[in-house]
Amino acid sequence: MFSNEEKASIYKVIEKRRDIRSFLSTPIQEEKIERILKAAHHAPSVGFMQPWNFILITSDDVKERLAWAADKERRALAIHYEGEKETKFLGLKIEGLKEAPLTICVTCDPTRGGAHVLGRNSIPETDMLSTACAIQNMWLAACAEGLALGWVSFYKKNDVRDILDIPPHIDPIALLSIGYTDDYPEKPILEQENWRKRESLEHLIFKNKWNEQR
C-alpha cells in the first residue's frame, strides 16, 4: 500500500514529465544515471523477454553524427507541413542531441528469448511495446531526479545503426537526450506552441464495444 503523499508524488511526476529540447552542459551524477537505468530495467516486459539494451553516448563526435541523422530526417519530413506548422516543426531543437551531456540509444532485440516467447507468438510487436515501457520508466525517473529528457523520434534507423555499430537485426527504438535544463515548461511543448490540443479523455473511453459511450 502507498500513503496519500506517495500516491500524490507518483501522479505529480506523471503530469509534470515533459519532452525537452534544450539542455545545460552540467554533468549528471553517476548515481542518478544508474537509478534511471535501473528504473528502465524494472519495466514490465511481455513474457519477461526484457528485449532492451542501452547505449550511453557521451562522445561529442558521436552526438554530432546522430544530430546530423536526425536533422536530415527532420528536413525530409517538413514537406508534409505548410506555413506556420512547417516553421514550428523545423524549429524543434535537434541541438538538444548535441547540448545534453548524455544521450541514450534504447534498442530492442526481437530475437531475445528465442523463437517462442509468451505474448510475442501472438502479437510480434510486444517486444517493442515492452521497450516503450522501459522508456516511459526512464522518463518518469528522470523527472523525479530533477532531470530533463528529450525523445528524438525522427531518423532513419540504418543511419543510427551505422553510427553506433548496431547489428542489422537490432532495432534502435529511441534516442533520448538527458540533462539539466533552465527551460522546463508548465505544459508540453507542442501543446504550448498550439501544435494541437490535448484530447478530451471523456470522448476516448468506450464501454463494452467500440464507439459505445459509457
What residue spans of 103-194 are helical by DSSP H?
126-144, 157-164, 189-192
- Banded model confidence at residue 90, pLDDT cuts 50, 70, 90: low
pTM of the model: 0.92
Task: Give the separation between CA 103 and CA 158, rounded to whole angstroms.
Answer: 18
Task: Give the separation between CA 83 and CA 18, rounded to whole angstroms.
Answer: 26
Residue 85 has pLDDT above 70, yes or no: no
Q: What percent of the chain has pLDDT over 70?
A: 95
Task: Give the separation between CA 29 and CA 17, rounded to whole angstroms.
Answer: 20
Q: Report the range of poorest mean pLDDT among 31-45, 77-91, 196-210.
A: 77-91
Which residues make beta-bridge pairs with 151?
Answer: 176
pLDDT of residue 52: 97
- 146-163 average pLDDT score: 95
Angle between helices 126-144 and 4-16 (to 10 degrees): 110
> Is the sign of the CA dihedral 89, 102, 52, 34 positive or negative?
negative
pLDDT of residue 151: 93
Give the domain ranges of the chain: 19-183
Q: What is the per-residue pLDDT across 8-64, written as a single tens digit (0 to 9) for each?
A: 999 999 999 999 989 999 999 999 999 999 999 999 998 888 999 999 999 999 999
What residue spans of 42-188 are helical by DSSP H?
60-77, 83-90, 95-99, 126-144, 157-164
Fold of 19-183: NADH Oxidase (3.40.109)
Residue 150 has pLDDT above 80, yes or no: yes
